[in-house]
Amino acid sequence: MRVGFVGLGAMGAGIVPRLLNAGHRVTGWNRSPEKAAPLLKAGMTWVDTPRAVAEQSELIFSIVTDAPAVRAVALGKDGILSGLGADSIYLDMSTIAPDASRAISREFAKAGRTMLDAPISGSPVTLAQGRASIMVGGDRAAFERAQPVLLDIAARATFIGESGLAAQMKLAVNLLLMVEVIAFGEAIALAEKGGVAREIAVDAVLNSVAASPVLGYRGPFILEGKLPKVPLADVNLQQKDMLLVLELARKLGTPVFLAAAANEMMNACRGLGLDRHDFVIAHEAYRRLGGQSG
């Protein structure tokens, strides 16, 4: 299939090779062209605008930082909508607010075009392992058309419901992920303060009933020298998601006590100058706040 991809950051750069390996013809664009160089060597075709990506593709994906970035690539000058064919489908994989996703989708609907919110759950690590998952909101028939390609990217593609509900579900999943990773850091810092060696504490957790996929690959990052130089998701990026959760909860009138606590821990990380690290650095924040050093 002719597939387009807009946004070639850490996740996009991992998704495109999977599409190429599945036999699809991929056309791509990114705001920073230099990021596309390895993908061009792998067989991706480069074009100069999101519009050109849409003009050459049956399915067009985007994955960018936030709602303003989605609006820019989707609805801006030379955006995806301006080049999208009547039979093509646009799928946004970004993590943004449900209302923002619905608003953008309505613009596509007004033009007689189809947009799905299709956020991907996973990191570059789980994506490379073939263990990512995709949640989809919008027209079910469009989802069914896109599903075979979605399964070339991820292990599972789940239809959540109407437009915006997949974006909402992604925020719920990220809430759980954030709380889990931060609680891990709290638990390890507690064990360390009481005299347990960090390596032993991490091994004990990862071999206990509390173990999980995200802790399996992220937990060891807190060991000496294991923190990745390029974070899978830094403190600022993860706090963006928690702020989206808090705003959604405010609109819905539902309590999210643990999301609020996770957000405060991201504030603590930023205050301690740890914000450019992967958010598993919350463990170090707990250590410092608890009087541990070295």
For residue range 144-189, what is the model confidence (pLDDT) as tens digits?
999 999 999 999 999 999 999 999 999 999 999 999 999 999 999 9
Query: What range defines the domain where residue 105 resides?
Result: 2-161
* Residue 293: pLDDT over 80: no
The answer to whether residue 294 is domain-embedded is no
* Residue 294 pLDDT grade (very low, low, confident, very high; cuts 50, 70, 90): low
* Residue finishing a domain among 132, 161, 190: 161
Beta bridge partners of 28: 5, 46
Q: pLDDT value at position 35?
A: 87
> Are both 120 and 181 inside the same structural domain?
no
* Residue finishing a domain among 145, 161, 177: 161
* Residue 39: pLDDT over 90: yes
For the segment 16-42, the average pLDDT, to the nearest whole number, is 95
Question: How many domains are there within the chain?
Answer: 2
The answer to whether residues 242 and 269 touch, using CB atoms and an 8 Å cutoff, is no
> Are both 144 and 35 inside the same structural domain?
yes
For the segment 35-62, the average pLDDT, to the nearest whole number, is 97
Domain of residue 274, CATH code: 1.10.1040.10
Residues of the chain with pLDDT > 90, as a percent, come to 97
For residue range 264-277, what is the model confidence (pLDDT) as tens digits?
999 999 999 999 99
- CA-based Rg of the chain, rounded to a whole angstrom? 20
Average pLDDT along the chain = 96
The answer to whether residue 64 is domain-embedded is yes
- Among candidate residues 41, 170, 193, 226, the one labeled active-site is 170
> Are both 156 and 229 inside the same structural domain?
no
Domain of residue 66, CATH code: 3.40.50.720
Our answer to whether residue 193 is catalytic in this structure is no
For residue range 225-269, what is the model confidence (pLDDT) as tens digits?
999 999 999 999 999 999 999 999 999 999 999 999 999 999 999
Instruction: Provide the 8-state DSSP code for 64.
Output: -
The answer to whether residue 195 is domain-embedded is yes
> Are both 37 and 153 inside the same structural domain?
yes
For residue range 178-218, what is the model confidence (pLDDT) as tens digits?
999 999 999 999 999 999 999 999 999 999 999 999 999 99
* Residue finishing a domain among 161, 181, 210: 161
The answer to whether residue 55 is domain-embedded is yes
> Are both 145 and 229 inside the same structural domain?
no
For residue range 100-119, what is the model confidence (pLDDT) as tens digits?
999 999 999 999 999 999 99
